[in-house]
Structure 1
Amino acid sequence: MKKLILVLLISLLTQLKALAFHIVGGEIELVHIDGYQYYLNLVQYFDNAQTDNPGPDLSVQVYLFRNSDHSLIRTEILNLSSEQAVKYTNPECAIGSLKTSQVFYTAEITLEPSIFNEPEGYYAVWERCCRNTSITNITNPGGQGMAYVLDFPPVIKNGEQFINSSPQLFPPLSDYACVNQTYYTDFAGTDVDGDSIAYSLQLPFNSSSQVALPIPQPKPFVELIYANGSNINNIIPGNPSLGITSAGFLTVNPSTTGLYVFSVLVEEYRDQEKIGELRRDFQMLVIDGCDPPTPPKAEVRLPGETEFYNEIDIINYSASEEKCFEYLVVDKAGENVTLKAEGVNFDADVSEVFEFTSGPINDSGDTLRVEVCISDCPYIQNEPYIIDLIASDNACPLPQRDTVRMTINVEPPPNTKPYYLSPDANTIQVRSEAEGQVVALDELLIGIDDDPFDSLRFFFYAEDYDPTNYGMSLDTILDIYGRKEVKFSWNTDCKAFPFGGKNTFDLGIVLEDYDTCAFDSGDTLFFELEVILPPNNDPKVSGPAPDYSRQIKTNLLFDVFASDEDNDPIELTGLGNLFDFSNVGIDFADVQGNGNIESPFAWDLSCDNLGINKTTNYTLYFIADDDDYCNETNADTLAVQVEVVVPSNTKPDFQIEEFYSLSVNEAFELEVLATDGDNTDLLTLDLLSPNAAPASEGFSFEGNTGVGAVSSILTWTPECSLLGENRTPETYPIDFLVFDDNCPNTELRTLTVNFQIEELVVDYDIFTPPNAFSPNGDGHNDTYTLSNLTEEFYNLPPDNCDDQFQSIVIFDRAGGKVFQSSDREFVWTGDGSDTGTYYFHIEYLNTDYKGVITLVR
């Protein structure tokens, strides 16, 4: 915690580089790797057309907060990984003022289950200021920043590991929109976990301050201030204005030019429960002067028909029919048209349905005619399939397109399902076999297909295991068209196959034919199989007590033993409930041996190892597994509960006032003292930051440490330059910091002390210098000086900002100069001067003093 506080203070006080006029959008991602390892990514979209910032930063710092109380967990440094250009949909439509690259930052991080386990989840934040000054739809864009936020679930839910990666959004296109033309793009991403994603428009978040890299603040976040009538329902004005479907399809028909900023909220659901969300910031450029688009017009005409296909109709094809028809596209002369086919309710590749996939509309503006032929085999069994035939041109800024959606029902070629002649597939075959045999189960498996030219095959069907790894095989006895015979054999020898981990099997043997369309059509014979294994005694774990209670910053030590009556090879392992031993400072080696083994356990319960801030219970498991010759594993588990007690911590406090008054040119001294009620904590006292010290050569303060109490002397002789205009008093706040080392709950206190600097008030009239001295060596009045004298009125008046000492000159009766000094600490010894009367002249800037000095020897 102490390190974290210092990092925060350093971040608060470090002035970083340029403002973010070059960043036009982005988001934060979290991608699961393995176990509790993740990639934390930050994606930026960088404006390469600007010249103020020549390139992206080399690294970014992302802050992780807890949703339950919005406290900071830690920060992560993400390094620049890659930068690549974002493409236009149609490169020929490129304009010089719009060049975008995707900048990718990443770090591999660990989300420890002992920390990231709260049901409310967590969120990652990165902030930057400021936005492009040319943005149209927000006020003062150069003074508003950005905050990227990712909400993610805990890594433990309901006592089990919860694995999740955030949605991965596609790289946006470098496209622009045109006034009075429809702009569209599929903004949808993908989710590797198969979670549902919902999209909606939101106002982007602002940064928490106008410094280039603010320290991210926890929720709630402040949205941008929109201008010119813009709001959530009118982010980009148009007919329609900017909108997005819940599936992520973004559209707008803009009515006004400008640069518009918006945010897309991406919400992630699993089993109808929301588990996370992220926002993508982005900007859209709307320009004028684009050529009005002429979208293509696509139609389908079936053979023998004079009318075009109506999309509400279902086309039915028999197995023997030719399945071809005419696809016609009308567009502006000279346009190049690209053809594409997509399945709507199926995933198969259907690109082969077009005779060719692109071609121009000739200069006469004739219709492009293409023959489309679909497969004799339907893409879906037992129901119609839906296919989109899409024609796109090469208009700018985006291709114009038209789609014919066809619903087609294809009768597949006839096929008779194969079946088991023997044994009866309607009866589950139940078998128990002793270990160590090689057996042939039952009679031959005989498959029949009444289609005389269909070939047959048998194959295993099993969930969560491979039958061949457990000694099962199918050996072909006869294989001819329409008939196949196989023998099912099983080797139950433990020395050949590891039955110890699994000795019961649910198994299916599938009979299938090779029909024209390769559809699933067959018969399945089911088995319930068991290997009867020889007896094996359980091992035993002993040694530690069932419960321990220890204070944090102590140690826990004990020995763990495991034994096995059969003298089998045994393995002793240890693991934590929802945590890894190595991640919390536990030293325990897994060991193997025969019959009797042991291993010492040592746990350093330090703050760094545990990372906890309250009393926490840990469950440890010690497991002994034996391994007999069948590799059958029996286990004994000993659970140990450990309570790690975190005592309370008293905050340190300052023992000084919050206001002091100082005069210029007068030395001021203050003991800055702080104490701690715990008395044993090491305290560190310092200025809150280097910038907390005033710009004054007369100021001095050094940080210090102490146990239970800490102090350091502040000295300050203020200069006249610290006064306000016309010599008025000026107040200077100085921030002090004190923090303790009482991990894990390190406490700190800050205090702002106001020092008021005032002009020094001097009464020049009280100055009455001594008028005699006797340099005779008797130790009394042997020199003449006007400083450090016992009577204050004998001393030279102090300097203030309006009047300062300049010099003293001493003359003899004849006007000869016998002594002169510009040092207010001068000393005249009278050497070389006779007894008599002398005259002095003391000069200040605005005040003079003259008088007589009698020298007596």
Structure 2
Amino acid sequence: MKKRFICFILMLFAITQAQATHIVGGQLFITENPNSAYNYNIGLTMYFDALNGNPGAEDPSVNIYVFRKRDNAAVGWLEAPKIERKSVTYANPLCGISTLQTYMITYSATVRLDAASFDDAQGYYMVWDRCCRNGTITNIKAPGDAGSLFYLEFPPLVKNNVSFKNSSPVFPAIKGDYACVNSPFFFDFGGDDADGDSLTYTIVTPMQGFSDKANPSIPGRGSSNYPRLDWIDGINVANVIPGPQPLRVNASTGMLSVTPGSVGLYVFAVQVDEYRNGVKIGSVTRDFQLKVVDCPKMEAPKLLFKPKGKTTYYAENEIITIKKGDPNCFEVIVTDPTIFQLIKVNGKAVNSSKDYFTLLPAEFRTSIVNDTMRFQICLDECFVTYDNRPIKIELIAEDESCPIPLTDTLNIFIRRENSGNNAPKVTTSLPGDYVHVTAGMPVTFIVYGKDADKDNLILSGRGRDFNMGDMGMNFASVNGVEAVQQNFTWTPPCNAKKGDTLAVDFKLEDMRCEGNPLPVSKPVFFIVDQSPNNPPTVHTSLTIPEITYTIGSPQGISFDVLGADPDTNTISLSAAGRGFDMGDVGMIFEGKSGIKTVTSPYSWNPECALLNGEAEQAFLVDFITMDKSCASASDTTTVKLIVKENGEQPFPEFPNVITPNADGKNDCFVFQELPQDQCDDRFKDITIFNRWGKQVYYSKIRPNDWCPTNISGGYYYYLIQYTRRSYKGGLTVLK
């Protein structure tokens, strides 16, 4: 078995030149192998004409070619060996005919596909191109010269830098059944998808490809429009198999249906498109052919039932009532016009998980024309109905008609009274069935279940027209023998309106008859009274709910947040930034809880990074207080915080003379009026030089003043530097 995917530039192989008409149909497949080093299985399922096909055309391996869909560029090819061949079976094995015999041949190989080589967004496709089709096909021109191209599209292995797993749909083996002229025929052509993708089905014209009788097995070519078969005159995709009901396919299930009008061998194709989350991700074309023969006239069996005391046969809209003391068994008739025909009868209870009845006997063989056979339906003890709800028994009689059995269905609705099982009882610890409730005030009681017969019990609850969990009601299902009990708890929400009534049904099921339990129910009605709860309030120590802060100010932002509740309930105080995380921007606020009142301080020292290069930014903070006794009783106040930087300030006009003689007048070079730091323009340093360029003073820290007492008088130069600007000048020192 080959373990590598071969690039086209290295392609070297021998082409088999066997010429034959043998191809009945088939499809390609690609399947993910998640736990294997060779992560995909690629192959071909082909149906081979075992009677008319040349055995020499049964290839020991096939070459499957892969192309990029966007530009039809060759990606690689794979040689897949034959791993299985088996005969196609029939729905009824006794219906085989001498002119129809088909093999299903599977070719497959594992391969390692590199995701980096299959990442094109438009995906890829693979083909197998081979000649020739079955030469006896009726609905196409020159069938023995027509090639067959199988086609499959698959998505990239990577989407948005994430691995994209996918396998093509899986189809069960096709049965080799045939259709009869002027008789309805159904053919399941549907498949399943391992990834849960949805599938849609469409009848299309089969692809012919580029192979022909002279070149039956050629290398695959990339194309966006492969050649298709030529229908004979009067045939198209709307009537591939003509007749009273031409060939149709159910777009959702893949079920084919047809009532053909004439004998023949008809080729057709179904395109199966694969969708994930509403987006098409793949497609595969399935080819096959259906043989239509002139069958002997067959008639279906017939089921008949005459209720006790009736002179006419049962009509399916009737309900049969079986009372206590009535016989447990009744008789049904099945007839069939065909002699020596095997009739099988099956039955099931449609609206019950168990049948609780038997059919005796369930199989017959007719001995004369229109033979009449009788069988008994016997009801078990657990076949009982409650609350006038009948149980529907569906009976199906099936014969041996070819190519598929003919059937008849009879539905009997039966209401049978309970004759031996006592109903359980359900009660509560409440004084009555009506409970007055108040928002925020818990309600608790116990629900009991008991059975005099000591049977298994299941106790559960269900809200009428609402989900108990959505309303915060707590009542878990419980089971036991003879007696069960469970606590019910509920704190009505604050949005419960005065006058509303909610009903909860507590259901107790007697499980003596599994699948058909005996149920009883007790309702409890909850009437909502006016809630006495008053909502809490929240405010801050600010006079107005807005603060403008200039970055670099000596003090940050600080204030107190206060919550209060007039009902002395437990309340909580919290805060949330609108569109930002308070902690990420350096805001400090601790959520607190308490009774009646609660206070928590807020503080913040904004930094330049918060401006993101803008002159100012606004931040909205919501402060919320919530009444813990009633979650939706709350109050919110919002504070707007505007952060900005100072506008650029000019350098002041410095004096050009100082007299450091300690007389308190003009003794120092004063720096108090230097511009304040900006986010992008901060104080860097100050340097003072004498007239010969020697540094006499330097500081990286913004100084208060320069008061030179130990230098000589004369002329000096100074340089004041900020991040993006500087200021220089001269100064005379007089002594």
Tell me the TM-score normalized by structure 2.
Answer: 0.53
Distance 2:5 2:35 in 1: 29
Is 1:63 matched with 2:65? Answer: yes
Is 1:266 matched with 2:263? Answer: no
Distance 2:5 2:89 in 1: 46
Query: Which aligned pairs between 1:320-339 and structure 2 lie closer than 5 A?
Result: 325-339=330-344
AA aligned opposite 1:26: G
> Is contact 2:5–2:111 with CA below 8 Å preserved after alignment?
no
2:31 — aligned with what? 31
Query: Which aligned pairs between 1:60-99 and structure 2 lie closer than 5 A?
Result: 60-99=62-101
Query: Which aligned pairs between 1:205-604 and structure 2 lie closer than 5 A?
Result: 205-210=207-212, 211-216=215-220, 217-246=222-251, 247-288=253-294, 290-312=295-317, 325-341=330-346, 353-373=358-378, 376=382, 388-405=394-411, 416=424, 449-454=449-454, 481-482=482-483, 514-517=511-514
| Alignment equivalent of 2:200, drawn from 198, 201, 207 | 198
Go from structure 1 to structure 2 and tell me whether the alpha carbon gap of 1:61 and 1:2 turns closer, same or farther (over 3 Å shift): closer
Distance 2:160 2:388 in 1: 41
1:114 — aligned with what? 116
> Is contact 1:256–1:286 with CA below 8 Å preserved after alignment?
yes
Match of 1:114, SS state, is helix
Distance 1:191 1:344 in 2: 31
AA aligned opposite 2:371: D
What's the CA shift for 1:208?
A: 1.9
Match of 2:8, SS state, is helix
Is 1:141 matched with 2:146? Answer: no
User: How high is the sequence identity, in percent, across the aligned residues?
Assistant: 32
Distance 1:260 1:62 in 2: 26
2:636 — aligned with what? none
Match of 2:153, SS state, is strand
2:55 — aligned with what? 53
What's the CA shift for 1:240?
A: 1.8
> Is contact 1:261–1:284 with CA below 8 Å preserved after alignment?
yes
What's the CA shift for 1:366?
A: 2.5
CA RMSD, 1 decimal: 4.5
> Is contact 1:346–1:379 with CA below 8 Å preserved after alignment?
no
Go from structure 1 to structure 2 and tell me whether the alpha carbon gap of 1:243 and 1:373 turns closer, same or farther (over 3 Å shift): farther
Match of 1:241, SS state, is strand
The gaps in structure 2 that reach 5 residues or longer are: 430-445, 460-478, 487-507, 522-735
Go from structure 1 to structure 2 and tell me whether the alpha carbon gap of 1:349 and 1:205 turns closer, same or farther (over 3 Å shift): farther
What's the CA shift for 1:388?
A: 4.4
Distance 2:247 2:177 in 1: 15
> Is contact 2:169–2:194 with CA below 8 Å preserved after alignment?
yes
What's the CA shift for 1:453?
A: 4.0
> Is contact 2:132–2:146 with CA below 8 Å preserved after alignment?
yes
Distance 1:378 1:27 in 2: 51
Go from structure 1 to structure 2 and tell me whether the alpha carbon gap of 1:346 and 1:260 turns closer, same or farther (over 3 Å shift): farther
Go from structure 1 to structure 2 and tell me whether the alpha carbon gap of 1:452 and 1:33 turns closer, same or farther (over 3 Å shift): farther
Is 1:21 matched with 2:25? Answer: no
What's the CA shift for 1:206?
A: 0.9
| Deviation string, structure 1 residues 736-764 (Cα, Å, up to 9, x no partner) | xxxxxxxxxxxxxxxxxxxxxxxxxxxxx
Distance 1:275 1:320 in 2: 63
> Is contact 1:64–1:75 with CA below 8 Å preserved after alignment?
yes
> Is contact 1:131–1:142 with CA below 8 Å preserved after alignment?
yes
Distance 2:8 2:264 in 1: 44
Distance 1:162 1:386 in 2: 47
Distance 2:201 2:34 in 1: 28
| Alignment equivalent of 2:8, drawn from 5, 9, 13 | 5
Tell me the TM-score normalized by structure 1.
Answer: 0.46
> Is contact 1:418–1:512 with CA below 8 Å preserved after alignment?
no
Distance 2:425 2:33 in 1: 45
1:165 — aligned with what? 167
> Is contact 1:32–1:164 with CA below 8 Å preserved after alignment?
yes
Distance 2:85 2:354 in 1: 32
Go from structure 1 to structure 2 and tell me whether the alpha carbon gap of 1:101 and 1:479 turns closer, same or farther (over 3 Å shift): closer
Match of 1:133, SS state, is coil
AA aligned opposite 2:145: G
| Alignment equivalent of 1:181, drawn from 183, 188, 204 | 183
Go from structure 1 to structure 2 and tell me whether the alpha carbon gap of 1:411 and 1:151 turns closer, same or farther (over 3 Å shift): farther
> Is contact 1:449–1:513 with CA below 8 Å preserved after alignment?
no
What's the CA shift for 1:344?
A: 10
| Deviation string, structure 1 residues 75-113 (Cα, Å, up to 9, x no partner) | 222221111111223333322221112111222234544
> Is contact 1:148–1:205 with CA below 8 Å preserved after alignment?
yes
Match of 2:126, SS state, is strand
| Alignment equivalent of 2:129, drawn from 105, 127, 140 | 127
Go from structure 1 to structure 2 and tell me whether the alpha carbon gap of 1:396 and 1:118 turns closer, same or farther (over 3 Å shift): same
Distance 1:59 1:262 in 2: 25
Match of 1:242, SS state, is strand
What's the CA shift for 1:212?
A: 1.5
AA aligned opposite 2:302: K
Distance 1:177 1:98 in 2: 12
Match of 2:7, SS state, is helix
Go from structure 1 to structure 2 and tell me whether the alpha carbon gap of 1:154 and 1:480 turns closer, same or farther (over 3 Å shift): same
> Is contact 1:22–1:50 with CA below 8 Å preserved after alignment?
yes
Go from structure 1 to structure 2 and tell me whether the alpha carbon gap of 1:120 and 1:345 turns closer, same or farther (over 3 Å shift): farther
Distance 1:154 1:409 in 2: 58
AA aligned opposite 2:265: L
> Is contact 1:65–1:124 with CA below 8 Å preserved after alignment?
yes
What's the CA shift for 1:314?
A: 6.5
> Is contact 2:274–2:280 with CA below 8 Å preserved after alignment?
yes
> Is contact 1:457–1:484 with CA below 8 Å preserved after alignment?
no
AA aligned opposite 1:219: S
AA aligned opposite 1:277: S
What's the CA shift for 1:136?
A: 1.4
| Deviation string, structure 1 residues 404-448 (Cα, Å, up to 9, x no partner) | 356678899776488999xxxxxxxxxxxxxxxxxxxxxxxx996
What's the CA shift for 1:140?
A: 1.6
AA aligned opposite 2:377: V
AA aligned opposite 1:225: D
Go from structure 1 to structure 2 and tell me whether the alpha carbon gap of 1:85 and 1:209 turns closer, same or farther (over 3 Å shift): closer
1:590 — aligned with what? none
> Is contact 2:353–2:515 with CA below 8 Å preserved after alignment?
no
Go from structure 1 to structure 2 and tell me whether the alpha carbon gap of 1:347 and 1:517 turns closer, same or farther (over 3 Å shift): closer
Distance 1:41 1:351 in 2: 47
What's the CA shift for 1:293?
A: 1.6
What's the CA shift for 1:225?
A: 0.8
> Is contact 1:454–1:514 with CA below 8 Å preserved after alignment?
no
> Is contact 2:186–2:258 with CA below 8 Å preserved after alignment?
yes
